[in-house]
Each structure stands twice: as structure tokens, then as C-alpha cells.
Amino acid sequence: MAGLTASAIVCAVRAHGEHGAILRALTHEAGLVAGYVRGGRSRRLRPILMPGNLVALELRARTEEQLGGATVELLESRAPLLAEPLAAAAIDWATSLTAATLPENQPYPALYAALSAVLDAIGVAASARQWAAALARYELLLLAELGFGLNLEECVVTGSPDDLAFVSPKSGAAVGADAAAGYEERLFRLPPFLRGRDAGPPMGDVLDGLRITGHFIDRDLLDGRNRDLLGSRERLIDRLKRAVA
């Protein structure tokens, strides 16, 4: 019998049958895993099986291919954050994106740590600017972990690491200010924080970063599909813009 016992971040929950639910959760050890939770739609378990919550997960299956049975105990609830529309939208997007794009049963420890950090930041940051920057970095890392990393270390035209100011929407590579002359409107502006050069970026920079990562997530990870998921991201971005307007 295959099994797993681990801390896990609830990423998605889907009703299954009259009372049960299929849980998809991200673990440090095994990556994204799925399991059937008996009674998952019950009054007792619904508050536990909320995206963003940290749970103690026990997963058991007769074979590696079989959907296992899962039991959960709450370790940390992020339910209070869901009463705030902006925080709720961010949690919904980050967890839904993770569930929609990661292959199951492949470890991504860096993504587990980064998603945990994003959720923690949403809970404690004094302003949306702080956790929104963490979200943009998470999206950038997700792209890299799935084989679609951006080259932000040198100019795609000259090879120079200096004065990088833009990103090509086609190649995903940085472009220096001089090399971009005359083509600026066709490129994304590259905010310094995406290269680790600014620990406290202004919201304008954060929105520029999210514009970059959103473009490549749509093109390379979702391939223009899952419009409902992309719609949730668009609503999040709109709320972020209104928060700083």
C-alpha cells in the first residue's frame, strides 16, 4: 500500500459523490497530491478543506495509480483572510494556479516554500504591495520550475548584464535600454524587484512584474485555456489597481 503523511497546503477541493470531496494539496515531500476525503463536504470538514489552509495530511492507496483515501487535520487556518476580498482573491489565484499547472506526485520543494511564504505574507503584510511582490516572484518561480523560466540576467541582443530595462514578450529574455531604443512599446518594462534588486518595490513596479508573469503563464502554462482561472487573476489585478488608486 502506498502512503504519505505530510503537512500540506490545500490547493483545490472538488465535490465527489453526495458527501465526499477530492482534495488536491501541495506537500514539500511529494509535490501536488490528490486524495478522496470521506465526508469532505460535511460541516466539520468544510472549514478545514479551504484553499490556503495548512493541514496534516495522511494519504493511503493500494497502488501508486489509485486515487488514495485522505484524512486531514487542521494545522493553520487562513479562513479569517477570506473575509477580505483582496486577500481572498490572492489566495484563490495562487492555490488554483498551483493545482492547475503542477503535475502530481513530483516534488517541488522550492515552490512549496515559496507558496507558504506568499500565504504567510498575505496574513501579516501591512500592505498589499508587500505580498503582491511575493506573488509575482512565486509566479516567476513557477514558470522556471516547469521549464519556462525567463532570462533576466543578460540582454538577449548584446549579452550584457548591465542596464536591463525591458523583457521581450516573445523570448522571455531581458533587453537593455539601448538595445530597446525605438521598440519600447512592444516590450514589457522590467522592474528591478524581479531580479532581486529591490526588496520593497512600489506598487507600479509590482503591477509591471505581474503583467510579465501573467503573459507567460497564459501563453506557456495555460496555453490560452482555462479562461475561468485567468478571469480570477484579472479580478485580482483589478482589485490591486483599485487598492492603490
Model confidence band, residue 199 (pLDDT cutoffs 50, 70, 90): confident
Q: Which fold has domain 80-244?
A: de novo design (two linked rop proteins) (1.20.1440)
78-109 per-position pLDDT tens digit: 999 989 999 999 999 999 999 999 999 999 99
So what's the pLDDT on residue 238?
94
Domain boundaries, the chain: 2-77, 80-244
So what's the pLDDT on residue 243?
79
Which is more confidently placed, 241 or 245?
Answer: 241
So what's the pLDDT on residue 64?
62
Model confidence band, residue 58 (pLDDT cutoffs 50, 70, 90): very high
What's the CATH class of domain 2-77?
Answer: mainly beta
110-127 per-position pLDDT tens digit: 999 999 999 999 999 878
Instruction: Give mean pLDDT, residues 25-33.
Output: 96
So what's the pLDDT on residue 68?
87
62-79 per-position pLDDT tens digit: 666 678 899 999 999 999
- Is 228 a residue whose pLDDT tops 90? no
Model confidence band, residue 1 (pLDDT cutoffs 50, 70, 90): very low
146-167 per-position pLDDT tens digit: 999 999 999 999 999 999 999 9
So what's the pLDDT on residue 53?
97
- Looking at every residue in the chain, the average pLDDT score rounds to 93
Query: Quick one: three-class SS letters along the chain?
Result: CEEEEEEEEEEEEEEECCCEEEEEEEECCCEEEEEEECCCCCCCCCCCCCCCCEEEEEEEECCCCCCEEEEEEEEECCHHHHHCHHHHHHHHHHHHHHHHHCCECCCCHHHHHHHHHHHHHHHHCCCHHHHHHHHHHHHHHHHHHCCCCCEEEEECCCCCCCCEEEECCCCCEEEECCCCCCCHHHCEECCHHHHCCCCCCCHHHHHHHHHHHHHHHHHHHCCCCCHHHHHHHHHHHHHHHHHHC
